[in-house]
Amino acid sequence: MVDVRRRVTRSAEDVVVDVVIYTVMALICFSMLYPFWNSVVLSFNDGSDAIAGGITFWPRQFSLENYAYVFRDPRLARAYGVTIFRTLLGTPLTIIVTSTFAFGLTKRNLIGRRYYMWAAVFTLYFGGGLIPFFLVVRGLGLLDTIWVYLFVIGGSAALLNVFHMIIFRSFFMSIPQSLEDSARIDGAGYYTIFYRIIVPVSTPVFATLTLFNAVNHWNAWFDGAIFITRSNLVPLQTLLRQILNSNAVDELMGELGGTAAEELARSAITTQTLSMATMVFATVPILLVYPFLQRFFVHGLLIGSLKE
Amino acid sequence: MQKIVSNVKQPSSNESSEREPHIVTRAGAIAESPAARSRTPRLRDVIRNRELRRDQFQLQSMVFPALVILFVFSYLPMWGVLIAFQDFSIFDGFWQSEWVGFKHFAAFFTARDFGQIMRNTLVISFLKLFLGFPAPIILALILTEMRRQSLKRIAQTITYLPHFLSWVIVSGFVLTLLSVRDGSVNLLLTGIGVIDEPVAWLSQPRYFWGILVTANIWKDVGFGSIIYLAAIAGINPELYEAASVDGAGRLQKIFIITLPSIAPQIIVLLILRISNILNAGFQDILLLTNNGQNAILREVSDVIDTYVFRVGLTNRRFSYATAAGLSKSIVNIAMLWGANALSRRISETSLW
* B40 and B110 belong to one structural domain: no
Residue B1, in any domain of the structure:
no
Residue B15, in any domain of the structure:
no
Of all residues in chain B, the one with the smallest CA distance to A23 is B142
Q: How far is A134 from chain B (nearest CA, A)?
A: 8
Confidence (pLDDT) at A49: 74
Higher pLDDT, B184 or A53: B184
Contact A118 B15 (CB under 8 A): yes
Contact A226 B181 (CB under 8 A): no
Helix axes A271-307, B167-177, angle to 10 degrees: 120
Contact A111 B56 (CB under 8 A): yes
**Domain C-terminal end among B53, B70, B101:** B101
Residue B137 has pLDDT above 60, yes or no: yes
Residue B266, in any domain of the structure:
yes
* B64 and B120 belong to one structural domain: no
Q: Which of B70, B230, B241 sits opposite A119 (nearest CB)?
A: B70
Confidence (pLDDT) at B24: 35
State how far the Cα of B86 lies from the Cα of B89, in Å rounded to an integer.
Answer: 9
* B44 and B152 belong to one structural domain: no
Average pLDDT score over residue span B221-233: 89
State how far the Cα of B95 lies from the Cα of A33, in Å rounded to an integer.
Answer: 54
B74, B190, B288: best to mutate for the A interface, most A CBs within 10 A: B74
Prediction pTM value? 0.84
A166 touches chain B (CB under 8 A): yes
Q: Which of B8, B20, B55 sits opposite A163 (nearest CB)?
A: B8
Q: Which of B40, B56, B142 sits opposite A25 (nearest CB)?
A: B142
* B71 and B93 belong to one structural domain: yes
- Give CA separation, B85 vs B103, B108, B328, in Å: 7, 12, 15
**Domain C-terminal end among B101, B134, B154:** B101
Residue B303, in any domain of the structure:
yes
A308 touches chain B (CB under 8 A): yes
Domain that includes residue B36, residue range: 26-101
Domains of chain A: 64-307 (1.10.3720.10)
Helix then strand count (H, E) for chain A reads 17, 2
Residue B136, in any domain of the structure:
yes
Q: How far is A305 from chain B (nearest CA, A)?
A: 5
Contact B172 A25 (CB under 8 A): no
Contact A159 B58 (CB under 8 A): no
Whether the Cβ atoms of residue A292 and residue A214 lie closer than 8 Å to each other: no
* B121 and B92 belong to one structural domain: no
* B94 and B185 belong to one structural domain: no
Count structural domains, chain B: 2
pLDDT (tens place) for every residue of chain A, 308 residues total = 445 545 556 678 788 888 999 999 999 999 999 999 988 888 888 777 777 777 778 888 788 888 888 888 888 889 999 999 999 999 999 999 999 999 999 998 899 999 999 999 999 888 888 999 999 999 999 999 999 999 999 888 999 999 899 889 888 988 888 888 888 888 888 999 999 999 998 888 898 889 889 999 999 999 999 999 888 899 999 998 888 877 666 655 555 454 555 555 455 567 777 788 888 888 888 888 887 777 776 655 444 333 32
Chain B residues in contact with A105 by the CB 8 A cut-off are: 63
Residue B327 has pLDDT above 50, yes or no: yes
In this prediction, what percent of chain B has a pLDDT beyond 90?
36
Among A21-35, A132-146, B128-142, B168-182, where is mean pLDDT lowest? B168-182
Confidence (pLDDT) at B35: 44
A4, A7, A131, A212: best to mutate for the B interface, most B CBs within 10 A: A131
Chain A residues in contact with B58 by the CB 8 A cut-off are: 189-191
Residue B267, in any domain of the structure:
yes
Confidence (pLDDT) at A145: 93
Confidence (pLDDT) at A269: 62
**Domain C-terminal end among B101, B123, B144:** B101
Contact A305 B3 (CB under 8 A): no
Contact A33 B158 (CB under 8 A): yes
Residue B236, in any domain of the structure:
yes
* B49 and B170 belong to one structural domain: no
pLDDT in tens, B7-39: 333 333 333 333 333 333 333 333 444 444 456
Chain B residues in contact with A132 by the CB 8 A cut-off are: 76-81, 83, 322
State how far the Cα of B272 lies from the Cα of B275, in Å rounded to an integer.
Answer: 5
B47, B82, B90, B181: best to mutate for the A interface, most A CBs within 10 A: B181
Contact B251 A13 (CB under 8 A): yes
> H/E element holding B86?
strand B86-87
* B228 and B95 belong to one structural domain: no
Higher pLDDT, B203 or A259: B203
Contact B166 A219 (CB under 8 A): yes
Contact B329 A127 (CB under 8 A): yes
Q: How far is B346 from chain A (nearest CA, A)?
A: 23
A141 touches chain B (CB under 8 A): no
Chain B residues in contact with A255 by the CB 8 A cut-off are: 180, 200
* B174 and B75 belong to one structural domain: no
List the CATH number of the domain containing B289.
1.10.3720.10
* B174 and B68 belong to one structural domain: no
A3 touches chain B (CB under 8 A): no
Q: How far is B296 from chain A (nearest CA, A)?
A: 12
The per-residue b/e assignment along B298-331, b for 16 or more CB within 10 angstroms, e otherwise, is bebbbbbbbbbbbbbbeeebbbbbbbbbbbbbee
Q: Which of B7, B164, B237 sits opposite A170 (nearest CB)?
A: B7
Among B217-231, B291-305, B309-323, where is mean pLDDT lowest? B291-305
Q: Say if strands B98-99 and B86-87 run parallel, antiparallel, or are unpaired.
A: antiparallel
Contact B250 A13 (CB under 8 A): yes
A107 touches chain B (CB under 8 A): yes
Q: How far is A267 from chain B (nearest CA, A)?
A: 17
- Give CA separation, B91 vs A139, B87, B319, in Å: 12, 11, 13
State how far the Cα of B286 lies from the Cα of B175, in Å rounded to an integer.
Answer: 13
Contact A167 B4 (CB under 8 A): yes
Q: Which of B83, B236, B287 sits opposite A241 (nearest CB)?
A: B287
A192 touches chain B (CB under 8 A): no
DSSP state of B102: T
CA B269-B128-A124 angle, 5° bins: 45
Task: Please tell me the total number of residues recorded for chain A in this structure.
Answer: 308
Of all residues in chain B, the one with the smallest CA distance to A287 is B161
If you write DSSP's letter for every residue of A96-165 in order, what string do you get? Answer: HHHHHHHHHHH-TTSTTHHHHHHHHHHHHH----HHHHHHHHHHTT-TTSTTHHHHEETTEESS--HHHH
* B212 and B278 belong to one structural domain: yes
* B255 and B327 belong to one structural domain: yes
Q: Which of B74, B154, B162 sits opposite A127 (nearest CB)?
A: B74
Across the A/B interface, how many CB contacts are shorter than 8 Å? Answer: 344
